[in-house]
Amino acid sequence: MWYFNWILGIGLALAAAIINVMWLEANYAFGERDEAATQERFEQARQEYAETKKRDT
């Protein structure tokens, strides 16, 4: 019965991903978030991660 748990897990992961995308698109559509601010946050997080990785090695 491991396959039941496996397929249930895949289904829940896909459902969470789809809901996340729908929520993000709704935020863009209603003006609560803009693409430039989101891109800036991703770039800032990438730089912080690179600095942390460089510092830890």
Q: Coil, strand, or helix at residue 34?
A: coil
pLDDT at 55: 86
Distance CA 27, CA 23 (A): 6
pTM score, whole prediction:
0.62
Highest mean pLDDT: which range of 4-8, 33-37, 52-56: 4-8
